């Protein structure tokens, strides 16, 4: 069954603006990850935040995690046209052989 | 060097045929996966192998048979292909199941 639910499903912004994407999940997690997928390509890992962390930064990316609300957000600051892609959140479970479960994805369009 | 490579990139075949997709990773990871991405971009895990042992087998028709000859390879064989099998299939690998996953470029399978 699907674990992560991202919103919005589609987001269109102007270059230079910030983009905020949200993800909600249902069960206990070990970590939450964000991936990017450019059209026709594979997924690229962006950032991983563990269940005992609340915020993490990587370059123009900022991820927050609220385990009490079972939600996460990905903020991309000063967006660029090259950030146009689909973004997925994925949750890693707590079991020894847990799997990565992906949400439906958010399509981000950054207008030049 | 490509970290996770899968072949072929495109596969067009007729209903009823049998086909294989190959995947290799040179990252030294111990866990490999097959994911299916449908036309709505939803990613669903199919199989997971850890050290050549099957650890996750989601509800996948038994026409799909994964084979892991060694830790670096996980191939997917599909018998009696059906129209509904048309999708993009992604191979991925990670070290254990609690870290980031690296994805291949995908194999776009079209069954006609």
Search chain A and give the residue with CA nearest B106. Answer: A42
Say yes or no to pLDDT of A62 above 70: yes
Say yes or no to pLDDT of B96 above 90: no
Give pLDDT tens digits for B68-87. Answer: 999 999 999 999 999 999 99
Token pair belonging to B101? 């996953």
Give pLDDT tens digits for B32-68. Answer: 999 999 988 899 999 988 888 888 888 789 999 999 9
Say yes or no to pLDDT of B15 above 90: yes
Token pair belonging to A35? 């991936």
Interface of A with B (CB under 8 A): 2, 30-31, 33, 35, 37, 41-45, 48, 86, 88, 90, 92-93, 96-102, 104-105
Search chain B and give the residue with CA nearest A48. Answer: B100
Beta strands in A1-112 (DSSP E): 5-7, 10-14, 19-24, 31-37, 43-50, 55-58, 61-66, 71-76, 85-92, 100-102, 106-111
Kindly give, in sequence order, each residue whose CB lies less than 8 Å from that of residue B42, ignoring residues fewer than 6 positions away: A2, A102, A104, A105
């Amino acid at each position: 069954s699907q674990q992560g639910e991202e919103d919005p499903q589609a987001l269109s912004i102007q270059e230079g603006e910030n983009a905020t994407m949200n993800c909600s999940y249902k069960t206990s997690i070990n970590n939450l990850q964000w991936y990017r997928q450019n059209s026709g390509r594979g997924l690229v890992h962006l950032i991983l935040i563990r269940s005992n962390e609340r915020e993490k930064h990587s370059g123009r990316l900022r991820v927050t995690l609220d385990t009490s609300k079972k939600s996460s957000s990905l903020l991309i600051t000063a967006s660029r046209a090259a950030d146009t892609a689909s973004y997925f959140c994925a949750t890693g479970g707590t079991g020894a052989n847990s799997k990565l479960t992906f949400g439906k994805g958010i399509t981000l369009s950054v207008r030049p | 060097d490509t970290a996770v490579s899968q072949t072929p990139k495109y596969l067009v075949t007729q209903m009823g045929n049998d086909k294989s997709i190959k995947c290799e990773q040179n990252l030294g990871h111990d866990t490999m996966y097959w994911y299916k991405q449908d036309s709505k971009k939803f990613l669903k895990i199919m199989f997971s192998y850890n050290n050549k042992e099957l650890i996750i087998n989601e509800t996948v028709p038994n026409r799909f048979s994964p084979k892991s000859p060694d830790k670096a390879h996980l191939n997917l064989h599909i018998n009696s292909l059906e129209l509904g099998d048309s999708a993009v299939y992604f191979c991925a690998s990670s070290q254990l199941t609690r870290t980031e996953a690296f994805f291949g470029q995908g194999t776009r399978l079209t069954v006609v």
